Chains A and B, each alone.
Chain A
Amino acid sequence: MSKKSALIITGVLMLVGFAAWVYQFKEGLVLTNLRNSYTWGLYVSGLAFFVGNAAGGLVLSSLIYLFGVENLKPFAKIGALTALVNVTAAMVSIIPDIGQPLRLYNIFIHPKLSSPLVWDVAVLNLYAALSLIYLYILMLPDLTGRWQWLAIRVHNPKEFSQKLAKRLAPFSLVAAVGIHVITAWIFATQGAREWWHSAALAPDFVAAAMASGTAVVLAVSLLTYGLKEQYRQAYRTMSIIIAVSLFIHLFLMYNDYFIHAWYGAPEAMETLAITFHEYLWTHAFEVLAPLAAVILLLNEKVRNSAAAMIGSCCLLIAGILAHRFLLMPGAFGKIAFTINPLGLQDVYWPVPIASGRYDLALDTFVTEWHYFPSAVELAIFAGVVAFACFLIILAVDLLPIVNPEEA
Chain B
Amino acid sequence: MRRGMVIDLEKCIGCRSCAVACKQHNAQPAGTWWNRVVTPGSEFHAVPPVKGREYFLPVHCQHCQNAPCEKVCPVDATYRHEDGSILVDFERCIGCRYCMAACPYGVRQFNWEDPQKSMQEYGYLPGYTFGYPQEYRLNGRLVYTPTRPKGVVEKCNFCVHYLALGLEPACVRGCPGKARFVGDLDDPNSEVSKMIRDKNGFTLLREKGTKPNVFYLPPRRKEV
B74, A344: Cβ atoms closer than 8 Å: no
Interface window among B144-152, B164-172, B175-183, B185-193: B144-152
Within 8 A of A (CB), among B64-79: 68, 71-77
From A99, A331, A341, A354, B36 is in contact (CB under 8 Å) with A354
Q: Which residues of A lie under 8 Å from residue B96 when comparing CB positions? A: 97-99, 117
* B193-214 contact mask (Cβ, 8 Å, vs A): 1 or 0: 0000000000011001100000
- The reply to whether the CB of B50 lies closer than 8 angstroms to some CB of chain A is yes
A66-103 Cβ-contact flags toward B at 8 Å (1 or 0) = 00000000000000000000000000000001111101
Please report the total number of B residues contacting A with Cβ < 8 Å.
Answer: 60
Known contacts A99-B96, A112-B73, A342-B40; A351 and B106 CB within 8 A of each other = yes
Asked if B75 and A192 make an inter-chain contact with CB atoms under 8 angstroms apart, the answer reads: no
Q: Is B158 an interface residue (CB 8 A)?
A: no
Q: A40-B97, A335-B106, A344-B49 are in contact. Are A29 and B112 (CB under 8 A)?
A: yes
For A98, what are the chain B residues with a Cβ–Cβ distance below 8 Å?
94-96, 151
Do A121 and B74 touch (CB < 8 A)? yes
Interface residue total, chain A, C-beta cutoff 8 A:
56
Chain B nearest CB, measured from A97 CB (Å): 7
Between A and B, how many residue pairs show CB distances below 8 Å? 180
B74 and A342 within 8 A (CB): no
**Residues of chain A within 8 A of B122, CB atoms compared:** 358
A336 touches B31 (CB 8 A): no
Contacts of A342 in B (CB 8 A): 40, 55, 218-219
B83 at the binding interface (Cβ < 8 Å): no
Interface string of A19-49 (1 = CB under 8 A from B): 0000000011110001011011000000000
B133 beta carbon closer than 8 Å to chain A: no
A28-B111, A30-B112 are known contacts. Are A115 and B104 too (CB-CB below 8 A)? no
Q: Given that A28-B150, A115-B74, A193-B101 are known contacts, is A356 also in contact with B49, CB under 8 Å in the complex? A: no
Residue in contact with B106 in the complex, picked from A28, A116, A337, CB distance below 8 Å = A337
Selected from B68, B101, B113, the residue in CB contact (under 8 A) with A28 is B113
In the assembled complex, A343 has its CB within 8 A of some CB on chain B: yes
Neighbouring B residues of A344 by C-beta, 8 Å: 40-41, 49-50
Of all chain B residues, which has the CB nearest A186? B98
B221 CB, min distance to chain A CBs, angstroms: 9
* Cα-based distance from A111 to B72 in the complex (angstroms): 11
**Is residue A278 contacting chain B, with contact meaning CB distance below 8 A?**
no
In the complex, what distance in Å separates the CA atom of A188 from the CA atom of B68? 12
User: Could you tell me the distance in whole angstroms from the C-beta of B195 to the nearest C-beta in chain A?
Assistant: 18
A347 within 8 A of B: yes
Residues of A within 8 A of B87 (CB): none
- Give the Cβ gap from B130 to chain A, nearest Cβ, in Å: 17
Inter-chain contacts of A331 with B (CB < 8 A): 101
**CA–CA, A107 and B98, complex, Å:** 13
A189 to B102, CA, bound (A): 9
B222: nearest chain-A partner, CB-CB: A343
Determine whether the beta carbon of A106 is less than 8 Å from that of B152. Answer: no
CB within 8 Å for A116 and B110 given contacts A28-B150, A28-B151, A365-B45:
no
Cα A191 to Cα B211 in complex, Å, equals 13
- How many Å from the CB of B143 to the closest CB on chain A? 15
Q: CA–CA, A349 to B54, complex, Å?
A: 14
Using A99-B110, A337-B106 as known contacts, say yes or no to A352 and B74 having CB atoms under 8 A apart: no
Contact between B68 and A192, CB atoms less than 8 A apart: yes
Q: Is the CB of A106 within 8 A of B55?
A: no
Cα A358 to Cα B123 with chains together (Å): 10
Q: A39-B100, A100-B95 given as contacts; is B209 within 8 A of A191 (CB)?
A: yes
Residues of chain A having any CB pair with chain B under 8 Å: 27-30, 34, 36-37, 39-40, 97-101, 103-104, 106-107, 110-112, 114-118, 121, 186, 189-193, 331-332, 335-337, 339, 341-344, 347, 349, 351-358, 363-365
List 10 A-B pairs, minimum CB-CB distance, nearest first.
A99-B95, A99-B151, A341-B40, A192-B104, A341-B41, A30-B113, A353-B106, A28-B113, A106-B75, A117-B74
Can you give 7 contacting A-B residue pairs, CB < 8 Å? A98-B151, A115-B71, A117-B72, A190-B102, A341-B40, A344-B40, A344-B50
